[in-house]
Amino acid sequence: MMQLYSLFDPVSGAQKLEQQGLTSHEIDVLEQNFLRYLFEVMKKSNFKIATDDEINVALSGQYLLNLPITVNESKLDNKLLKKYFEAHPFNDLPDFHDKYVIFRRGIGIDRTTDYFIMEKVDMLIARFWSYLLKKLRLDKLISKRPKRHGKKLDPKKDDDIKSEDCQDDVYERIRLENMPLSSGTLLSKTLIQEPTFDRIIVVYRRASSYSKQERGIFVKHFRNIPMADMEIVLPEKKNPGLTPMDWVKFLGTAIVGLVAVLSSLQAATTDLRVIGAILSTIGGYCVKTYFTFQQNLAAYQNMITQSMYDKQLDSGKGTLLHLCDDVIQQEVKEVMIAFFILMEQGKATRQ
């Protein structure tokens, strides 16, 4: 597996492929062989592919990263993994399985206590907006998140999924969006908690351009990822959008400016200098608001980058070596347990 990955390492693989002088068909066969070995190692290391249902549950709420994050799918290859899953079918694969695959292992818990004032204000604005849309009967036309439709579960896997669901339910989700907010809770410290994926590995390939065919395969390893913040491990993320508070500032500025201009125009004694002063003030505030938005977007991007830096364990060869070590340790443990059981039953021999 390590020898095969040296051909598809995003850093040095292209040079080695060029030195080997392989045809396009031969490279396709080698990369599928690498994926087959990788998935076998993942299985032996107790990693499982995150299913469509698990992704939907994980992304059904928000935790610390309250930002609208989406993937730029045009920058991701959709042939490599699609070809693999056509030859090796899996049940309940997520919609994005042809572009990237997420492996997960282990469940933990993360707790944070803070004031979360801005997050609470954003939540109040979101609730008011949702209430307004519901009253106007527009809530069905505008959805906050695009829903993924999961596939039917294989009855043979039903017991396994139920047992995992029970494990997940041990840890209760305590989120701001489910809390009753008042003037007292708005200014007081709040405890929130979220189940975490103990380990996550993401596999993907970037899309090829007209001038260059991408052959590199990215393998990234993360730790202690809160389920609701799983967006931070997604590849090729778009720049995050604005929060509800940002939109309120923008719309508030536009409404106040429009009202001020209309009031001035309807006045009996209209002074062009007054109108000019009002327009200049509004224009200056709009420019200030625009640059504030740009600063907020840069701050959000830095937040995502810092979160990834804190959570990422390794990538590429380092991740594969870690997986191989996990497999060796797992096999040694299984041998020791088997020998202990045989010894307890009096059936162990020197052979």
Between the alpha carbon of residue 37 and those of residues 21, 50, 153, 209, 324, the distances in Å are 23, 19, 26, 28, 11
Phi then psi for 6, rounded to 5 degrees?
-60, -25
Confidence check: pLDDT of 256 > 90 = no
Q: Which residues contact 268 (CB under 8 A, 6 or more apart)?
A: none
Q: Which helix (H) or strand (E) is 204 found in, with range?
A: strand 190-204
Confidence check: pLDDT of 105 > 60 = yes
Q: Which of 46, 5, 47 is nearest to 331 (CA)?
A: 46
Which is higher by pLDDT, 315 or 139? Answer: 315
Query: Is the Cα torsion angle 97, 100, 106, 109 positive or negative in sign?
Result: negative
Question: Rounded mean pLDDT of the chain?
Answer: 81
pLDDT of residue 28: 93
Beta bridge partners of 195: 109
- Highest mean pLDDT (candidates 250-254, 300-304, 323-327): 323-327
Q: Which of 34, 75, 13 is nearest to 208 (CA)?
A: 75
Give the pLDDT mean for 64-88.
Answer: 90
Beta bridge partners of 191: 113
Which is higher by pLDDT, 147 or 51? Answer: 51
- Highest mean pLDDT (candidates 29-43, 143-157, 277-291, 299-313): 29-43
Q: Which helix (H) or strand (E) is 167 found in, with range?
A: helix 158-169
Q: Please tell me the least confidently modeled range out of 217-231, 241-255, 320-334.
A: 241-255
Tell me the domain boundaries of the chain: 1-105+198-347
Q: Could you give the CA distance from residue 199 to residue 197 in angstroms, rounded to a whole number?
A: 6
Q: Which of 201, 203, 190, 198 is nearest to 226 (CA)?
A: 198
Q: What is the 3-state secondary structure (H, E, C) of 84-125?
A: HHHHCCCCCCCCCCCCEEEEEEEEEEEEEEECCHHHHHHHHH
Q: Which residues contact 315 (CB under 8 A, 6 or more apart)?
A: 218, 219, 220, 221
Q: Could you give the CA distance from residue 67 to residue 301 in angstroms, rounded to a whole number?
A: 10
Sheet containing 100-114, strands listed edge to edge, beginning at the edge strand earlier in sequence: 48-49, 100-114, 190-204, 218-226, 312-315
| Digit-coded pLDDT (tens) for 265-295 | 666 555 677 777 777 877 777 787 778 777 8
pLDDT of residue 162: 41
Give the pLDDT mean for 191-208.
Answer: 93
Q: Could you give the CA distance from residue 279 to residue 74 in angstroms, rounded to a whole number?
A: 41
